[in-house]
Structure 1
Amino acid sequence: MLEFDKKYLEKVIYELFAIDSPSGYTKQATSYIANEIKKMGFSYSYNEKGNLIVKINGKNEVVYGIGAHVDTLGLMVRSIQEDGKLSFEKIGGPNCATLDGEYCKILTRQNKIYTGTILSKSCSSHVYNDALTRERNEENMEIRIDEITYSKEDTKKLGVQTGDYIFIDPKTIITESGFIKTRFNDDKISCCLILCLLKYISDHKIIPYHTLKIIFSTYEEVGHGCSYIDADIVQFLAVDMGCIGLDLNCTEQDVSICAKDSSGPYDYEMVSNLIQLSKDNNIRYVIDIFPKYSSDASAAQRGGNNVRTALIGPGVHASHGMERCHMDGIFNTMYLLYAYITQQG
């Protein structure tokens, strides 16, 4: 098997996951990726919505697209309550039940950051009869700011207002057994593995068979990350998490090849080719259907782009909650991506 730089992969995992990047607030994260790309000697550009696009010339001019999204789930201030705490709206679909008790940061429009905690409004078993049973959702939860504030006016004086971003602490840990525990494996782990793959290509002077446009998108979690892609892209392969649970085949050690998600079937020939590449290269893979899932490839189709699409990614457990994946699934995804970009025909 190929020898990818695991130390580099771990480095970019810790560094990229530490940069808050909920949908709509991704400039620092894309700047980090752009800086890594620049070190490798590749050229890049941005489109108007902030997607970062890396172009790598291949042995021919036919263009294949590969995409991963750097944006994550998050929260936004909806209003300031009379007692000074904050009501919030979700950005994307975080599982509120997993947010109860989590630390967060509030970013004001004046670039002031306050820390806080996401809590149920029935936060204490010593006080509230329904502390254990109250539903955890936007209506029943709030943000407690780590400042002396007991009224709406107190909080307003801090500069906090409606529309301010609330960043959820990802709590990223890589264990000795190879697990990556963090909130936002979806989909920062794919961004990291693509960076690791690009470093290998750069270090070994690999020329892809087809010209590549690699898109790090910024609005996938809200549905329109790659709704527009360049018209010269004939195939677009989204790299996103593989789901785990129920009757799904995927584990954290696999690369998942998605045959269909909520947007419909993916391109039959592309999916068949990815399966055959996995077999030919002894890559641990599974085929799955994700009925509650859509991807940047789905957005590309809905946006009316004339392109064939497919979806792969490492298995991620407890998606949109406290997520976990494994180095085995990450490396199997990189092996498949390498086989895909170097195949002839």
Structure 2
Amino acid sequence: MKIDMNYTKEVIKEILSISSPAGDTILAMNKINDYFQKLDIEVNWTKKGAIIGVIHGQDARNQKIISAHIDTLGAIVSAIKPNGRLKLSNIGGFSWGAVEGENVIITTSEGEKFTGTILPTKASVHIFGDEAREQKRTEETMEVRIDENTSTKEETEALGISVGDFVSFESRTVFTKNGFIKSRHLDDKACIAILISLCKYFKDNNLRPKNTLLLYISNYEEIGHGISVVPDKVTEFIALDVGTVGGEHNSDEHSVTIVAKDRITPYSSTIKNKLVKLAKKESIDYKIDVHYRYATDASVAVTQGRDFEVACIGPGVDATHHYERTHIDSIENTLKLLISYLSK
């Protein structure tokens, strides 16, 4: 199985460089559209701004969906404070301590961009002493210091910044010499890169999947409504999402995670067992895991009354919804298992 992992790395790097908090994903979606066009993938856009790519297979009656989501965690300006700084409302489930000190980009309704930093209202121990150490990190105690000469609400408004503007977190992507990838938003942009690399593998080897394959790039997964259009011929839905590494979880940063259950539902034992069998046969490193505080486009879709089997696989990622890390081995193992499953 010859896979161009250098291509995969370049896709990861480029996708991570494009901000895409849920609700403001059009630039990243356009980039995915470009990738699909270059790989001769048929592209359809949904009314909500998602993309469904199509690879026609030998069997068009029993279609499969592979989903990955382009939307990430982020925030939105909820108020401009009297001191000119910004109060935020979170987009997606993260702890405020996880984004303390992070550089951000504020995008106005006119498309102008400003930089800033998320800080506690009592940031300096030189000023506040133990209060700075002990202050809880909540929506009420965090603010954005804008990198402009502003110290009043009126001065910030004069810049063109207003309530409702999107705020994205810098990804700070780092590739280490020994194969680790550190970045925000590996959930789920690492999986987007896997999906695009899957398309390149089929094109490079002049292959088609056994079943017609729908590649669903969702744009509202982090806030729970990523999937809205599912054709009637779909019989299997596989969410490509990250395995959560840490605590008592079984996932690791080198293996592909096969999720047995999330907080919503057990996944199909039929698909899970087939994936395990293929991983063993192909000598693919894998882990089976249960994710307690986690849901995917696939598990949410079944709550809508959809009639198909669901599964979830993905690379193991440490410190999810924080400054995340995985290893290129995990991404490659996920890609290998996906290719094997879709070829049988």
One-letter identity of the residue aligned with 1:88: L
Q: Displacement, 1:342? A: 0.4
What does 1:107-118 align with in structure 2 at a 5 Å threshold? 107-118=107-118
CA distance in 2 between counterparts of 1:284 and 1:183 reads: 24
TM-score normalised according to structure 1 size: 0.97
Please list the CA deviations of residues 224-255 of structure 1 after superposition, one character each: whole Å capped at 9, or x if unmatched: 11244222211000000001112211110010
**Structure 2 residue aligned with 1:105:** 105
| Greater displacement, 241-250 / 71-80 | 241-250
CA contact 1:255–1:314 (8 Å) conserved in 2: yes
Please list the CA deviations of residues 182-230 of structure 1 after superposition, one character each: whole Å capped at 9, or x if unmatched: 0000000000011112111101111111110010110000001124422
CA contact 2:46–2:229 (8 Å) conserved in 1: no
| Greater displacement, 66-75 / 129-138 | 129-138
**Structure 1 residue aligned with 2:42:** 43
CA distance in 2 between counterparts of 1:35 and 1:180 reads: 24
| Greater displacement, 332-341 / 220-229 | 220-229
**Structure 1 residue aligned with 2:335:** 334
Q: Which runs of 5+ in 1 are unaligned?
A: none
Specify the SS of the correspondent of 1:126: helix
CA distance in 1 between counterparts of 2:186 and 2:91 reads: 16
Q: Which runs of 5+ in 2 are unaligned?
A: none
CA distance in 2 between counterparts of 1:254 and 1:18 reads: 25
Specify the SS of the correspondent of 2:132: coil
**Structure 1 residue aligned with 2:245:** 244
Please list the CA deviations of residues 149-198 of structure 1 after superposition, one character each: whole Å capped at 9, or x if unmatched: 11111111111111100010010111111111000000000000111121
CA distance in 2 between counterparts of 1:102 and 1:245 reads: 22
Question: Does residue 59 of the first structure (1) align with residue 53 of the second (2)?
Answer: no
**Structure 2 residue aligned with 1:223:** 224
**Structure 1 residue aligned with 2:280:** 279
**Structure 2 residue aligned with 1:194:** 195
**Structure 2 residue aligned with 1:91:** 91
- Count of equivalent residues: 342
CA contact 1:235–1:309 (8 Å) conserved in 2: yes
**Structure 1 residue aligned with 2:256:** 255
Question: Does residue 77 of the first structure (1) align with residue 77 of the second (2)?
Answer: yes
CA distance in 2 between counterparts of 1:33 and 1:255 reads: 23
CA distance in 2 between counterparts of 1:232 and 1:159 reads: 48
CA distance in 1 between counterparts of 2:86 and 2:254 reads: 40
One-letter identity of the residue aligned with 1:292: R
Please list the CA deviations of residues 127-154 of structure 1 after superposition, one character each: whole Å capped at 9, or x if unmatched: 1131111111211100001111111111
Specify the SS of the correspondent of 1:132: helix
Specify the SS of the correspondent of 1:29: helix
CA contact 2:68–2:192 (8 Å) conserved in 1: yes
CA distance in 1 between counterparts of 2:31 and 2:260 reads: 32
CA contact 1:228–1:303 (8 Å) conserved in 2: no
CA distance in 2 between counterparts of 1:275 and 1:247 reads: 21
Specify the SS of the correspondent of 1:176: coil
Q: Displacement, 1:327? A: 0.6
One-letter identity of the residue aligned with 2:322: G
One-letter identity of the residue aligned with 1:75: A
One-letter identity of the residue aligned with 2:195: I
Specify the SS of the correspondent of 1:115: strand
One-letter identity of the residue aligned with 1:30: M
CA distance in 1 between counterparts of 2:159 and 2:232 reads: 47
CA distance in 1 between counterparts of 2:232 and 2:301 reads: 11
CA distance in 2 between counterparts of 1:306 and 1:88 reads: 39
CA distance in 2 between counterparts of 1:306 and 1:101 reads: 45
One-letter identity of the residue aligned with 2:330: G
**Structure 2 residue aligned with 1:30:** 29
CA distance in 2 between counterparts of 1:186 and 1:301 reads: 21
CA distance in 2 between counterparts of 1:10 and 1:286 reads: 23
CA contact 1:257–1:287 (8 Å) conserved in 2: yes
CA distance in 1 between counterparts of 2:263 and 2:208 reads: 35
CA distance in 2 between counterparts of 1:256 and 1:6 reads: 19
CA distance in 1 between counterparts of 2:304 and 2:226 reads: 10
One-letter identity of the residue aligned with 1:94: F
Please list the CA deviations of residues 258-290 of structure 1 after superposition, one character each: whole Å capped at 9, or x if unmatched: 111000211121111111111121111111100
Question: Does residue 185 of the first structure (1) align with residue 148 of the second (2)?
Answer: no
CA distance in 2 between counterparts of 1:269 and 1:238 reads: 15
CA distance in 1 between counterparts of 2:143 and 2:229 reads: 36
Question: Does residue 4 of the first structure (1) align with residue 3 of the second (2)?
Answer: yes
One-letter identity of the residue aligned with 1:128: F
CA distance in 1 between counterparts of 2:2 and 2:89 reads: 43
One-letter identity of the residue aligned with 1:41: D
CA contact 1:228–1:300 (8 Å) conserved in 2: no
